[in-house]
Amino acid sequence: MTPAPLIEFRQISRTYGRGEATIRALDRVDLTIDRHEFVAIMGPSGSGKSTTMNILGCLDVPTSGQYLFQGIDTTGFDRAQYTLLRRHMLGFVFQGFNLLARTSAVENVELPLVYRGMDARERRKRALTALAQVGLSGRENHTTQELSGGQQQRVAIARAIVTSPAVLLADEPTGNLDTKTSREIMELITSLNRDHGITVIMVTHEDDIAAYARRTLRFVDGRIQTDSLAAREIADVR
Ligand SMILES: Nc1ncnc2c1ncn2[C@@H]1O[C@H](COP(=O)(O)OP(=O)(O)OP(=O)(O)O)[C@@H](O)[C@H]1O
Ligand SMILES: [Mg+2]
């Protein structure tokens, strides 16, 4: 028996408001994402990208349709079940999920492990490993405000991966970063996908950032207009 896909959307719609004023942020979206994929989500402003990420991240639920995670239908999960799924399977690098400013890098990275109730020594050990993985050894005790934008983004990524999530969800991970730093962050995310097998789903407006992904979904008006593999992947298949 083939295992269920990691992620499956079945006819997912998300509407806001009602009657004449209804906004259809997502319109009957079908989507399957397998383990170890690296997917970029693109599309114009208001096309449903963040709505999709919020549903993937269990921060929002569809108005209709089903979201299956590892074959398990999450429809009707209670708050505790969503929280468990989020904490154990998902890592977030969202612009809204900011780091604590006057708190050290290592303490920021430990935070998701505190929520898990892990003991302090183990927590510290894992946070230091995650910081080393993102190339921040030596900066563990710097506070957020003592780090550059790119270094802060690395801390955010370390915090997202410290729990060894199956999926990394990134909404514009390189937004506000210069070209060189963006490239470094993308190389880091690429290596997490390639060397650690983390499934990456990333929203971006930029073609050169999307080019790091193997697969690109383009949303238009709440629907997936195109779902394409990178040219180099197609060449590999031939
Ligand atoms: N809380 C909300 N209440 C009402 N409408 C909303 C809400 N959140 C999103 N929308 C609407 O849903 C649609 C999709 O929004 P979404 O945030 O998914 O777009 P996006 O593709 O992420 O855009 P951007 O590139 O600007 O971030 C938009 O028309 C938006 O106005
Ligand atoms: Mg958005």
Question: Ligand nearest 219 Cα, by number?
Answer: 1
Query: For ligand 1, which residues put their CB under 6 angstroms from it?
Result: 16, 23, 25, 43, 45-51
CB 44 within 8 A of CB 19: no
Q: Exposed, middle or buried, 71 (CB in 10 Å: 0-12/13-18/19+)?
A: exposed
Q: Exposed, middle or buried, 21 (CB in 10 Å: 0-12/13-18/19+)?
A: exposed
What domains can be seen in the chain, in order of their start residue?
7-237 (3.40.50.300)
Q: Closest ligand 1 atom, CA of 17?
A: 4
Q: Which of 49, 204, 209 to mutate to test the pocket of ligand 1 (most atoms within 8 A of CB)?
A: 49
Residue having the nearest C-alpha atom to atom 27 of ligand 1: 45
What would the pLDDT profile of 120-172 be if each residue is shown by its tens digit?
999 999 999 999 988 999 999 999 999 998 899 999 999 999 999 999 999 99
What would the pLDDT profile of 219-230 be if each residue is shown by its tens digit?
999 999 999 998
Element (H, E) at 202: strand 199-203
Q: Which of 207, 212, 200 minimizes the C-alpha distance to 171?
A: 200
Q: Which of 234, 230, 231 minimizes the C-alpha distance to 39?
A: 230
Question: Ligand nearest 63 Cα, by number?
Answer: 1
